[in-house]
């Protein structure tokens, strides 16, 4: 995997536009515990096939619906998952988009006084699970790869889940 990180305002704007398109595309008809298991297993298969050292988490509020740490994942991945998931729950957008938008203007959200880095992480890998006519009902998160790769793994699994 290992996608290249953007470095110019134009590249950050293109990445933000791509993520916004993914958000618009990846709406679900329904989502419950059995769906969390199916999505989680898709992520496990994809991560295992790639030998990715990741932790995978799907949560609905305070309820963990699915969680696994694959070979090579570290305890720190769980800390990152919690912070990324809280960011998505609080701001309602993918964690990568939260961190990318300010970079279009040459800024970092982490430099804003109101952004609590101990609570939230604006790094890729966490994505809202939204149901048509309802809105966000859960959050899926991957941690262990470079942030764009974490994000892309989640999006690829969500596409397979939606098609599936």
8 A C-beta contact, residue 127 and residue 94:
yes
Measured distance between the N- and C-terminal CA atoms of the chain, rounded to whole angstroms? 23
Collapsed DSSP state (helix, strand, coil) of residue 3: coil
Residue 146 falls within a domain, yes or no?
Answer: yes
Residue 149 falls within a domain, yes or no?
Answer: yes
For residue 79, give the DSSP letter: H
Note the pTM of the prediction, 2 decimals. Answer: 0.95
Q: What per-residue confidence (pLDDT) applies to 162?
A: 97
Number of domains into which the chain is organized: 1
| pLDDT lower than 50: segments of the chain | none
Residue 55 falls within a domain, yes or no?
Answer: yes
Give the residue numbers spanning the domain of 128: 9-163
Residue 67 falls within a domain, yes or no?
Answer: yes
């Amino acid at each position: 995997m290992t996608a290249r990180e953007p470095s110019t305002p134009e590249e950050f704007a293109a990445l933000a536009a791509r993520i916004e398109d993914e958000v618009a595309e990846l709406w679900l008809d329904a989502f419950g515990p059995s769906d969390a298991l199916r999505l989680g297993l898709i992520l496990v298969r994809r991560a295992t096939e790639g030998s990715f050292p990741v932790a995978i988490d799907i949560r609905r509020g305070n309820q963990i619906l699915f969680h696994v740490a694959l070979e090579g994942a570290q305890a720190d991945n769980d800390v990152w998952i919690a912070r990324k998931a809280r960011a998505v729950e609080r701001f309602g957008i993918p964690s990568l988009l939260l961190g990318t938008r300010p970079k279009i203007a040459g800024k970092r959200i982490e430099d804003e006084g109101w952004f609590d880095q101990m609570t939230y992480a604006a790094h890729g890998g966490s994505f809202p699970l939204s149901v048509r006519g309802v809105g966000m009902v859960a959050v899926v998160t991957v941690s262990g790869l470079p942030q764009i790769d974490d994000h892309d793994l989640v999006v690829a699994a969500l596409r397979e889940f939606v098609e599936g």
